Structure 1
Amino acid sequence: MPVVFFAEGSAAMGPEARAVVARAAERARAWPGVPVVVRGLAATDGSAGFGRALSEARARNVADALVAAGVSPDRIRVQPRGPVPYEAMQVESRRVEIAIGG
């Protein structure tokens, strides 16, 4: 499963993240009838609302990048999964998972 990592407190994608999305889009285009689930995670030591909004922003940015790379938006389902306890996951929680095939 392709995984896109983010900087703490950010939903911006850097060059490595864009490369992961490009490879995922290539795979998704190879299987045109298969759904694509984009799951965003965010750790927060702040409010739950901030973590939820950040996980959704990350997932939506990845979904938008998949669409820009030729994946039909009708196939993409965004699932924000934040926040998670900051102490529990830290770097591992600053990610978006791209599940091709659900």
Structure 2
Amino acid sequence: MPRSFQHYAPALLLAGLAACAAPPATNPALGAAQQRLSRDQQDPVIREKANAALTGAEQAVTAAGIAFRDNDPTALQHQLYLADRQLATAEAEGRTATSRAEAASQARNDAELGAYKTRETDEGTLVSLYGLPFEEGQATLRPGAALRLQPLADYLKTHPDRQVMVRGNSDSAGSPAVNQALSQSRADAVRDFLVSAGVPPDRVKAQGLGAEFPLASNATAAGRQANRRVDVVIEPPSSTAALPAGR
């Protein structure tokens, strides 16, 4: 054996043994726990409503990292289990808080918009302005419309975080082009009232839908009158989606 190799052989042997004994550079379970903790820490509801569980999870993840560096698989497994339990608790508390907040918001909406028929949709709160009919072929608000629309304007002024889409509808009398233009004019009329009542114009858009979404049959006068209407969609405060194109 060459003398130079004999000189380095012990060092190479020790290096090889150390490499065999060293733990892996990463641990998938630990990495997943760290990512989950980071995600939950960025959730404002969890931070506020589940701070104790979140702190416990952070401590467990930190201890798991130490156990991993110390090549202690038993301690690592135990701390990862504790972290999982604490994170599950934090996430459950966050969901509960969110559900309660949504229920409270719906209750407030019901109370404040009690003058209207409302229902929740994927887009937000749909307010049906029944009792605000239009004459056939007309887009002018009837006398007394202010009494019908003022509660909606008051609600919007006290909820400055809500964006609004006003949607005009028509009956099927006339051509589709005429009906679309007429429904747009009706939506514009309601929008203009809301703006004149103090709602900032950049929060209210208007869209004409023509006769595409009837509430009743257009075969009768009563049905056509019901279809000449305006609906208002009030977006939820958390929504960041852009409103459809409209005035």
The question of whether the paired residues in 2 share the 8 Å contact of 1:44 and 1:50 is answered with no
Please state how far the C-alpha of 1:18 moved relative to its aligned partner: 2.2
Residue in structure 2 matched with residue 92 of structure 1 by the alignment: 226
Residue-by-residue CA offset, 1:14-62 (whole Å, 9 max, x unaligned): 1332222211101111101101110100013211111001100000011
Query: What is residue 51 of structure 1 aligned with on the other side?
Result: 179
Q: Give 1:2 deviation, angstroms.
A: 4.4
Amino acid at match of 1:87: A
| Alignment gaps of 5+ in structure 1 | none
Counterpart for residue 7 of structure 1: 135
1:28 to 156, 170, 174: 156
Match of 2:235?
101
The aligned residue for residue 77 of structure 1 is 205
Percent identity, aligned pairs only, is 35
Give the letter aligned to residue 225 of structure 2: V
For 1:36 and 1:45, locate their aligned partners in 2 and report how far apart those are by CA, in whole Å.
28
In structure 1, C-alpha distance between the alignment counterparts of 2:208 and 2:145, rounded to whole Å: 18
Higher helix share: 2
Pick the structure with greater CA Rg: 2
Q: Which has the higher contact order (CA 8 A, sep 6+)?
A: 1
Question: What displacement does 1:83 show?
Answer: 2.4
Structure 1 distance, partners of 2:207, 2:151, is: 20
Mean alpha-carbon deviation: is it higher for 18-27 or for 82-91? 82-91
Residue of structure 1 in register with 2:166 after alignment: 38
Cα 1:18–1:2 change in 2 (3 A) is farther
**Separation in structure 1 between the aligned mates of residue 170 and residue 147 of structure 2, nearest angstrom:** 21
Q: Give the whole-Å Cα distance in 2 for the aligned partners of 1:64 and 1:71.
A: 9
RMSD: 1.9
Q: Structure 1 residues 78 and 42, CA, compared in 2 at 3 Å: closer, same or farther?
A: same
Tell me how far apart the structure 2 counterparts of residues 100 and 26 of structure 1 sit (CA, whole Å).
13
- For normalisation by structure 1, the TM-score amounts to 0.87
Residue 99 of structure 1 deviates from its aligned partner by 2.4
Distance in 2 of aligned mates of 1:20 and 1:101: 21
User: In the superposition, relative to structure 1, how do residues 61 and 39 fare at CA in structure 2: closer, same or farther (>3 Å)?
Assistant: same
Counterpart amino acid of residue 194 in structure 2: L
**Size of the alignment, in residue pairs?**
102
Gaps spanning 5+ residues in structure 2: where?
A: 1-126, 237-247
